[in-house]
Amino acid sequence: MSEAEPGGPERRILVVDDDQACRELARDFLRLEGFAVEEAEDGLAAIRAFTAHRPHLVLLDMCMPRMDGFETCRRVRALPGGAHVPVVVTTGLEDMDSIRLAYEAGATDFITKPMNLEILGHRVRYMLRASDAVLALRRNEKRLAAAQRIARFGHFEREVSSAEERWSREMFRIIGADPTVTEPAWPALVERIHPDERAAVSRAMEEAVREGRPFALDVRAGYSDGAWRHFHVQGEPVLGPTGLPSVSPGPCRTSRTASSPRSGSVSSPTTTASRSSRTGSSSSRG
């Protein structure tokens, strides 16, 4: 689906309902509200209309002949561009089972019948704003990943309380780890550090969390080819709502191989000088 830029001009809504009166009521109201509207009388027509018109939101009735709303929702989600488009289902006031099944089929939200048109307008605008926010986030994540790849800079976050970690894709590449095999975990990083320097790195991380101050050091890390590379490791704790450190993201970059814990990131080896990036989080970023 060609996704419109957030705040872009015309938004297209696909209204799917076998009841012509309900469909036309929703269509006329949404057009008055400034939306472009396409119609479909059942699920099969909805699939064709979605493919042809690439709507920004689908208003979908659950009870229809030939293909009901549940199957239609599942099929929309499987279409190109259909994974993230908001799907708002319409159903009877007491039909809680249908609402549950609709969510399981991939619905984003629901509105009860008979529809309150004013509420429908607010609901549609809210869902489009939420969709814009998700789209902008995905775009920013792609830009960040591209920037990290170019700079050979990786990022990881570590929750101090739970030890849960999140690594960027570049983080795995930089340390020579296969993301399908290696779990993102602090031990997986420590085991690559030269034995003479592991204690210093662990001590620096612990002190950063305990004392709430940043740290930076250069360490050697081993790769599967047997070579030792130099990483610059830099970290900075971020305080949580309680005032205590809670997460430790860390970035790493390299020169021959440089790693920098900070806000969760790492960068890949280059040549002998190390580069750094910061880590921030309420636990300890490294």
* pLDDT, tens only, 242-281: 555 555 545 455 443 333 333 333 333 332 223 333 333 3
Decide which of 8 and 130 is more confident.
130
Among the listed ranges 32-36, 44-48, 75-79, 115-119, which one has the minimum average pLDDT value?
Answer: 115-119
> What are the C-alpha distances in Å from 51 to residues 6, 38, 47, 90, 97?
21, 12, 6, 21, 29
CATH (domain of 197): 3.30.450.20
Contact 158, 264 (CB under 8 A): yes
Q: What is the predicted pLDDT for the residue at 50?
A: 97
| Domain assignment present for 273 | no
Cα 236 to Cα 264: distance, rounded to the nearest angstrom: 10
| Domain assignment present for 161 | yes
| Domain assignment present for 43 | yes
pTM: 0.59
Residue 114 and residue 158 in one domain: no
Q: Write down which residue in 144, 173, 200 finishes a domain.
A: 144
The C-alpha angle with vertex 265 and arms to 171 and 209, in degrees rounded to 5, equals 130
Q: Write down which residue in 144, 173, 192 finishes a domain.
A: 144
Number of domains in the chain: 2
- Output Rg (C-alpha) for the chain, integer angstroms: 25
Summarize the confidence of residues 188-208 as an average pLDDT: 84
- Sequence length of the chain is 286
Tell me: pLDDT of 54 over 70. yes
State what percent of residues in the chain have pLDDT above 90: 32
Residue 193 and residue 72 in one domain: no
Residue 51 and residue 88 in one domain: yes
Q: What is the predicted pLDDT for the residue at 233?
A: 75
Q: What is the predicted pLDDT for the residue at 231?
A: 77
Tell me: pLDDT of 21 over 90. yes
